[in-house]
A and B are shown apart, each in its own frame.
Chain A
Amino acid sequence: MILQILISGISLGSVYALIAVGFAMVYSNLKFSNFAHGGMISACAYIGYYFQNAFSTPPPIWLTILFTALCGVVIALLIDLLAYRRIRKKQAHNLYYFLASITVAILIEQILNVFFGKNTYAFPAVFSSTTFHIAGLRFSSIDTLILGVSLVILAILLGIINRTKIGLAIRTVAINPQTSRLMGINSGVVIMTVFAIAGALAGISGVLLGMRYSVYPSLGQSMMIKGFIASVFGGLGSLSGAILAAVGLGIIEMFLTYFCGALVSPIILFGFMLVFLAVRPEGIFGRFAKDKV
């Protein structure tokens, strides 16, 4: 049973990881937690659902994910244009980013409510069975897919950030946008690239979370708390830290809930978080974020 709980914890953590990576991506560059990410996920979940059902024979799920990721990029760039760009130009305090991101999150959810709130949808089944068994242990099909996708995303993002020119530019802008501009880097384009990547992540997350749960206006927002906690634990801005912390959070939560009950579990979890932040406020892999300050 202990092993089964561990596997279920990793499954749950993989869901949190999807959200946490989106947070970490924007934070690593702009130093604010983009709460609009939840709204983007919800919007992308609807886009994915309608795309999947637009054809008499549903397209393969990878095509739906790809299409939705592209739509996520468009949405993210639109949000950047409408909500963040002017704040950035005025070099306003980060608090304004925070307020703008909360506002955008509520706005998206309300728009979805107005147009789609009457129905809740489910993606067509992708797997013939919701679970599969290996050596007597039960694995969730969709959670395994989510974990695999999270790890692939991590590998791709780390590859982009560490091994490409745009990745170098992203790291440079993250450390100091003004100096990077003096060095000939177009920080505006770099920041747009970061938003585009975050949008693509929201698109992928929207489809996967829609497949795991249902498609409804507050889908993304309902996942934000745990995703945000994971990104803080991992070290705000650290991609690998976010995934590691998310999986850790899922495992801890699963064990606590099983052995202590769902009522006591949050008390221990959040108490532990307070102690952890007091001891290591920069998170597990927070060195990069710390360097920027």
Chain B
Amino acid sequence: MKRVIALLLAMLLLAALPACGIAEELPPIKVGCIQDTSGGASIAGQPNEWGVKYAVQYLNDNGGINGRMIELYCRDCQNDTEVGVTAYRELVDEIEVDAIIGPPLSNPASAWVELSAEDEVPIVGHFMDEVCTTDPDTGEAYPYMFLAEPSCSVQSYILAEYAMNELGVKSVATLFNTSNAYAVAHEKPFVSYISAHDGEVLAEETFTWSDTDYSAQAMKIAQLKPDAVLLCDYCNQMVTAYDNLREAGFEGYVLGANTMYPPFNTLIKNKLYNCYFVQNYDLRSGEIADLLAIQMKDTGTDYPTSNVGFGWDATMVLANAMKQANDPTDGPEVREILENNTIEVPSIGGAKITIDPATHRPTREMGMYIATYDADNQVDCLVNMTTDYVAE
């Protein structure tokens, strides 16, 4: 009888332990963050990383993932594919992270496609080139890769649609960096849209990372007199391309990817006019404006940048899936939820992110702003657009 009573008491004690807070705390969830904080795109990578860190802090301050804290491990991929793979291997093999928040860069991210499937580690990021999320040959989604903003193709379709319908553009030329997957992934769909809608593509001029001047290409384009020129690359290269074009005498529309946002307007040497570009958020209002105010004060950054929002959004998409999982450290389970149950996750910019299970990218409801610079060189978001266009 004594034994039975002792056993019952022991069971009671065990059952009471969690209520007393004596129970062993659940281990933290390890999340990796790989961003380009020192390479050629550090201007994007650093605010991106800040956005991730701030979002993780916010989540932890508000109970973490169902009571479990997130431990964040940040690594720098230096906009280098090999460095990115090394950072990935360290995070997965040595630190044993449960998921990774990736960079806004397509070059390093494209190298993780197979690795993430082998290791069953979900990756959510802003690598906008579609080859990072779907197989270009089969169109099938890579199982563990997820994008948290409209892809390059969608962004380019939106920009081309606006140019043709609203600006009356009929002929275009492009100037883009062939070494940068992000730039190539913007240019091809743009050209595809223009061609498919009876527009004329007069020239597709290129440059590479090692080029520091695009005057020759700009002179060729200016001679052809297209209605608009599309520029695609990171901000510093966009600045050089814009200046070279204007100095070559081109006065038409200059269209740009979302890297045309500030500090582009502060860096160019020529007069800023006839510029239109895609923009993920209206940075002047709403939650994104509040977040940017904190980031700029915290880091001493002089201008607002969308990348802060990218970092935040990717973290929230991942957190949303982890919160729904029975075991947030179970890669396959989190992957399954990311794929099938990422529905209307609030973006910091006010939109809703719903992942399309077929592509692992946001559905077409998530639009982009078409922005321009006003007379005071400030960003003016004109309209939020979506597109139904799909290239054949």
Contacts and interface: CB of A to CB of B under 8 A. Distances in A.
Interface of A: 1, 4-5, 8, 11-12, 15, 109-110, 113, 117-122, 125, 130-131, 138, 140, 142, 213-214, 216-218, 222-223, 225-226, 253-255, 257-258, 261-263, 266
Interface of B: 37-40, 42-43, 46-47, 178, 205-208, 210-217, 219-220, 223, 235-236, 239-240, 243, 246-249, 263, 266-270, 299-303
A118 B300 contact: yes
Contact of B208 (A12, A125, A262): A262
A14 to B, nearest CB: 11
B37 A117 contact: yes
B247 A12 contact: no
A257 B216 contact: yes
A218 B40 CA distance: 7
A262 B206 contact: yes
Contacts of A5: 216, 219
A132 B236 CA distance: 24
Nearest to A261: B206
23 contacts: A5-B219, A8-B219, A11-B215, A15-B212, A110-B38, A113-B37, A113-B38, A117-B37, A117-B46, A118-B47, A118-B300, A118-B301, A119-B301, A120-B267, A138-B247, A138-B248, A213-B240, A222-B212, A255-B216, A258-B217, A261-B206, A263-B178, A266-B208
Contact of B266 (A117, A122, A222): A122
Contacts of A253: 216
Given A130-B270, A262-B207, 20 more contacts: A110-B38, A117-B43, A117-B46, A118-B46, A118-B47, A118-B300, A118-B301, A119-B43, A120-B43, A120-B236, A120-B263, A121-B267, A130-B269, A131-B247, A138-B247, A138-B248, A216-B236, A262-B178, A262-B214, A266-B208
B267 A122 contact: yes
Contact of A117 (B38, B178, B206): B38
A217 B213 CA distance: 18
A140 B249 CA distance: 12
Contact of A125 (B217, B223, B247, B269): B269
Given A125-B269, A131-B247, A214-B267, A117 B42 contact: yes
Contacts of A218: 39-40
A214 B207 contact: no
Contacts of A142: 269
A227 to B, nearest CB: 10
A262 B247 contact: no
Contacts of B39: 218
Contacts of A122: 263, 266-269
Contacts of B206: 261-263
Nearest to A217: B42
Contacts of A138: 247-249
B169 to A, nearest CB: 24
A20 B39 CA distance: 24
Nearest to A11: B215
Question: Which 10 residue pairs across A and B have the least CB separation, nearest first?
Answer: A257-B216, A258-B216, A113-B38, A122-B267, A8-B215, A214-B267, A117-B42, A118-B301, A262-B206, A130-B269
Given A12-B215, A261-B206, A119 B302 contact: yes
Contacts of B219: 1, 4-5, 8, 258
Contact of B299 (A118, A213, A226): A118
Contacts of A118: 43, 46-47, 299-301
A266 B43 CA distance: 28
Nearest to B39: A218
A119 B42 contact: no
A130 B268 CA distance: 10
A15 B42 CA distance: 24
Nearest to B175: A262
Contacts of B263: 119-120, 122
Contacts of A11: 215
Nearest to B295: A118
A262 B213 contact: no
Nearest to B239: A214
Contacts of A140: 247
Nearest to A109: B38
Contacts of B300: 118-119
A258 B211 contact: no
A214 B223 CA distance: 27
A118 B40 CA distance: 12
Contacts of A1: 219, 223
A56 to B, nearest CB: 18
Among B42, B46, B235, B299, chain A packs the most CB atoms within 10 A around the CB of B42
B375 to A, nearest CB: 18
A266 B206 CA distance: 12
A131 B218 CA distance: 15
Contacts of A117: 37-38, 42-43, 46
